[in-house]
Structure 1
C-alpha cells in the first residue's frame, strides 16, 4: 500500500471525478444523495451508480430493493466507458451478488483510489447488509485503499465484540488492517465522552516515519442529527485524497468540514428522527447564496443609469440637424476640427490601456484602437478639412474637459478605470451614429461621413470594447466598480457635451459672440 495517491489524469483540469457506488436515501441525508453533496462540498464532481433502493427516513429503514445485478453492471460500465474516474467511494452493497459484481468491475477498471465504507449498520441501528453477504464483503476489502467502518462495523470485520475504549478501537483497527492489507480510518464517534478522535491506521507502516497510527483529535458535538455521517465522511475523503494525494492533510480537512456540517445540523429541521448533517453550511456562510452576475448584466445597469444622458444626446439640435442634413457646414467642420484634437490625445489613452492590459488579446485590441484613432479617423477628417486646419483650431472648453478626464484616468494607471472611461467613445458614439445612418440618403450632404457609423469593423470593435469592460467590471471589487462607473458616466456626459458644443458654444468661425 502506498501512502500517496497520484492524479490518474494529470493533464486534466477541473475538479476530481468521484464515483459513488451505493444505495439511496429518499430523505437525502445518507447514501448516494449524501455522497453527491459531500463530493460537491469538497470540490469534486460527483457521479453515482445505484446498488439498492432503500425505503428509509430519519427514523429507520422500511425495506430494501436490490435491482438486477446485470443493470448494476450496465451502470458501472456506462460510467467507466466514458469518464476518467479519479476515485471511487463504495457504500451500501446489499447482497453477495452485488458485491461480486462490483469486485469484478474494480478488478477490470482498477480505479486509482477506492474508499470503502463497509455499510452494515445504519445510524438508527438497522442492519443494512444481509448476513450472507459479509463473507463477500471481506473479499472486497483488499481492493480498497481505505475503509471507514464505524465501531460496530469494525467489530464485525474483526469478528470480535465491539470495542468500548479508544485504545481498544485502535488495536482492533490494526488487526483488521493487517488481516486485509488495507488502511483503516478508525472512528471514535460511537464512544462516550467529550472527545471524538479519529485515526488513520496502517499495519504495513507506510505512513510517514513508518507510523502505524496517526491520530486526529476531535470534539464531540451534542446533537442527534448525525444521519449519514459515515457516508458523507467516506465520500469527502475520496474527493480530498484524489485531489492532491496527501492522506493526512485530506483527513484533517475533511474532519474540519464534517465538524462544521454536524455543528449546523440542528438548523436543517429535516425529519423527526436522526436528522442529516448540513453539508453546505460552511459554504453558505462563507460564500453566501448570491450568484455571480454576468458581465453583460453590469453593463446593462450602466446603460440604463445613463438613460438621461442618452436622451439628451438624441435630442440635441446638432444631432437632429446632422441626421436631417440641415446642419450648418461651418458647425460641422468645427466639430471635425475639435474631434481631430480629441483623437490625438484619445489615442494616447488607448495606448496606455494597451500597455496595462492583462491579456495579449486586450493589449492588441487597444493598440489597434490607438492606431485607428490616428490613422483612419484623421484621414477621414482630412477629407473634410484643409490639411493646415486639422490641428490648428484652438481647443474648445468641452474638448479640453473631455480630454482632461481621459488623461487623468490614464495617469492613475488603473486599467479597469481607463477602459471604462474610453467606452462611451465606442458605445455612445455608435448608438448615436446608428440612428443618424438610418436618415442618410444619396443626396445627404454628410452621407459619406455618416456611412462610417455603419462600418462593421467599428461595430465589432464596439462589441469587443463592451465585452472587455464588462469582464473587467465582473472581476473588480466593489470599490473599483464604483470608480469604473464614475469614469464611464462622466465620459458619457463629456461625449454628449462634445456633440452639443458646435451649436451651443457658438464657437464656430462666423458664429462667435
Structure 2
C-alpha cells in the first residue's frame, strides 16, 4: 500500500447498502468512521429492508444514480480512504470499479459483503467473479471465512490453518492484503490475521482474541472494515492499524448488549468506549468560562463595592493613615505574589505564557518599590507584619504553588488582575484632580493594565477550556477562593481600625 499523508481528520467514503436499524451498512460505517477519528461520507448502493432478525427485501437504485453520487463526492471532496461494502450485482460492481480506476483513492478497503449475519444472500451469484476482479483494486480485503472461500473459489476452510493458507492464496492471486477473520470457526478463541503475500515474502500478523459470548454481532464486518479504512490513513504500518481496530471492535462488541436493540443479532456499541472515557458533557469555550466565572463572583464584587474602605477610596474621604496601612500590607503581599507569579512562569507550557507571568512578577516587585517611594518612604510602616487577611491570601496562593498544577495556580492568580482593574475603571469617573488617591485609581484604570489583565484572563480561560471537568472545577474553586481573599483584604484596613 502506498504512503498516505497524515491528516488530523481522515475523510472516509463508505460505498455500501443501508440498514434502517442502524447496526450494519452505511449507518454502521458512519458510526465506525466517527468513532475512529474520521469524517464519514456515504454513497448508497442498495436500499435494504432489514432488521436484527433478517433481510426482507433489497432495492438497487439505477446505476446512473450510483455514478452521480460517486462523482458528486469526488468532484468536491478530497477523499483519504474508501470502504466498499454491499455491491449487489455486476452492474453496481462495474460502476464502482470504473470510478476507482479514475479517482484512485489512496486507501481502499473492500468488505466483500455476500451473506448477512442472518444468513441472507446479499450478492448475486453471477457477480462473484466481478467482485474478485474488483478486489485487485483494493489495498485490504476483510472477508469472513465463507466470503474468503468465495474469493478463493475454493471450499470453505474448517480450521484456522486452512483459513491462513487460503488467505495467502487469495492475497497472492489478487495482489491484495487479506485480513482473515476466524470468527466463524468453532473455537474458544476468535483469531484474526493480516496476511500479505503480495511481495517476495509471506507476511502474517496474527491477532489472538478471546471469543466474546454475545448475540450482538450484527454489522461487525461492516464496522471493522470502515474503522480499518479510517485508521489506515496516516499509519505507516497496516499491522498497527489493525491492532487498534481490533481493540476498538472488541470493546464495542462487549458493550453491544447495553443498547438493547432488536430481538435478533443486535448491533455493536460503536461509541461505548468514547462515551465512557469522555462522557456526554460538552466542553465550554473560553468565552463561556469567562462569563460564568465573572458571574460566579458577582456577590463578592458587590460586597467589595459596599465596603467602607472602597467607598472612601472612591470619593476621597478615606483617612490617609488607613490608606497607608493598606498599602503597607499590599507591599508585603506583592513581595510573595511576585514569587508565585515566578512559579507560574516556571510551570508555563508555552514560551508566551512563560514570558507573560515572568513580566508580571517583575511588575509586582516594581509596584512594591513604587509604593515605598511614593507613599511609605517616611519609614513609618517599616517592620509592618502581615495581618490575618494578607497571611491567609498568601497561604492560599503558596498552597497552589505546592500542588504544582499550572492551571489551578494561574486561576488563583487571576482575581488580583481582574478585580483591581475592574475597581479602577469604575472609580475613575468618581475621582477629580484634587482627589487624594487619584494616582492609585489611575494606575489600575490605565490602558496598559487593561491589556495585561485581558492577557491574564485569556490565558486562564483558555487553560480552563482545555481542562477536563475535574481540572476545570478545581480551577474555578481556586479562582473563587482568591476573589474571597480579595474581599477580606479590602475589608481588613478598616476592620482593624474598628
**Superposition TM-score tier, normalisation by shorter sequence:** 0.7 to 0.9
The CA distance in 1 between the partners of 2:209 and 2:481, in whole Å, is 57
- The corresponding residue for 2:136 is 142
Q: 1:230-379, aligned counterparts within 5 Å? A: 230-294=221-285, 306=297, 309-336=300-327, 338-375=329-366
Contact preservation (8 Å) 1:337, 1:393: no
Contact preservation (8 Å) 1:353, 1:410: no
The CA distance in 2 between the partners of 1:343 and 1:166, in whole Å, is 73
Are 2:31 and 1:40 equivalent residues in the alignment? no
- The corresponding residue for 1:423 is 414
- The corresponding residue for 2:398 is 408
Summarize the Cα distance change of 1:224–1:413 in structure 2 as closer, same or farther, 3 Å threshold. closer
Summarize the Cα distance change of 1:203–1:408 in structure 2 as closer, same or farther, 3 Å threshold. closer
The CA distance in 2 between the partners of 1:337 and 1:432, in whole Å, is 19
SS in 2 for 1:244: coil
Contact preservation (8 Å) 2:325, 2:381: no
When structure 1 is superposed on structure 2, of 100-109 and 27-36 the one drifting more is 100-109
Are 2:149 and 1:155 equivalent residues in the alignment? yes
* Cα deviation digits, residues 420-444 of structure 1 (max 9, x gap): 3422211222333343235345675
Q: CA deviation at 1:116?
A: 0.5
Summarize the Cα distance change of 1:487–1:87 in structure 2 as closer, same or farther, 3 Å threshold. closer
Q: 1:93 aligns with which of 87, 101, 112?
A: 87
Cα root mean square deviation, aligned: 3.6
* Cα deviation digits, residues 97-148 of structure 1 (max 9, x gap): 3322322222233222211011122122222223443343222111011212
SS in 2 for 1:313: helix
Q: So what's the TM-score if we normalise by structure 1? A: 0.83
SS in 1 for 2:344: helix
Are 2:101 and 1:107 equivalent residues in the alignment? yes
The CA distance in 1 between the partners of 2:470 and 2:44, in whole Å, is 49
The CA distance in 1 between the partners of 2:484 and 2:171, in whole Å, is 75
The CA distance in 2 between the partners of 1:27 and 1:84, in whole Å, is 30
* Cα deviation digits, residues 49-70 of structure 1 (max 9, x gap): 2223323222233333334444
Summarize the Cα distance change of 1:376–1:65 in structure 2 as closer, same or farther, 3 Å threshold. farther
Q: So what's the TM-score if we normalise by structure 2? A: 0.85
SS in 1 for 2:57: strand
When structure 1 is superposed on structure 2, of 420-429 and 491-500 the one drifting more is 491-500
Q: 1:167-206, aligned counterparts within 5 Å? A: 167-204=161-198
Are 2:118 and 1:130 equivalent residues in the alignment? no
Q: 2:24 aligns with which of 18, 24, 30?
A: 30
| Aligned length in residues | 497
Contact preservation (8 Å) 2:88, 2:122: yes
SS in 2 for 1:220: coil
Contact preservation (8 Å) 1:434, 1:453: yes
Contact preservation (8 Å) 1:402, 1:495: no
